[in-house]
Structure 1
Amino acid sequence: MSKTITYVITYENGRWVSRCPTGEIEGVGVAGSLSQMERDLVEMHVWAWPEDTPGVEFVFDLPGHVAGVVTEYRREKELAEAHAKRAAELAVKAAKVLTSHWSEPDTARVMGLSKQRVHQLKVSA
């Protein structure tokens, strides 16, 4: 796959509509679901570019009240993922430090985890 073609997706009259603003694909695609839209576009790409089929990317042009909620959700999701990653790193660090002083069962109790999870954390990379 050499490149990706981006489509702007809107919801109009009860159907999902795709437009290619860069002009690689002319016209409009219409489908009842986003899954169907993606399948149709992938199929069209395979037909049009059988040797080097480009990928499909969606950019959603949503009404303001919906776009705001989606933006807020995505921002919070990114923050949650960053916090989860940091918590996982700290869990490993804490398990290693605590088990250097106490038993795995005692460490598990302090950390609020199972003994098995503390052992996994302690022996992890």
Structure 2
Amino acid sequence: PDFLSWSHGEGFIRFFEERCRRQGIYILDEPESALSPTRQIELIRMLRRMDLSGTAQVIMATHSPLLMACPGARLFRISRFGLDPTDFHDTDHFRMMRSFCNDPDGFLAEALYEDEA
């Protein structure tokens, strides 16, 4: 397939769909950079199918709370002490997105105020 004929996100999804049928270990580095939230959900569905098939393992670096919440995912935070197990609810990225979703205007007003201070 000509993956370059689609948008960045669509090309990524199609590429991954084609490749994820194979047995293996997949290493993804911030796949959310190419994906809208809707496409991230598509990726989660694919990852779930891979997990249920038992034929593949995925190692992923991500800042996306959506991808961190993938069912069955084991999350590790990289710190100066090594790899620390964590839950996506405990990540700064989830907390920030939750704050924004709970009060977008207040969140942005505070963020802009901090920038001016």
Query: TM-score per shorter chain, which class?
Result: under 0.3
TM-score, normalisation: structure 2: 0.25
TM-score, normalisation: structure 1: 0.23
Highest CA radius of gyration, 1 or 2?
1
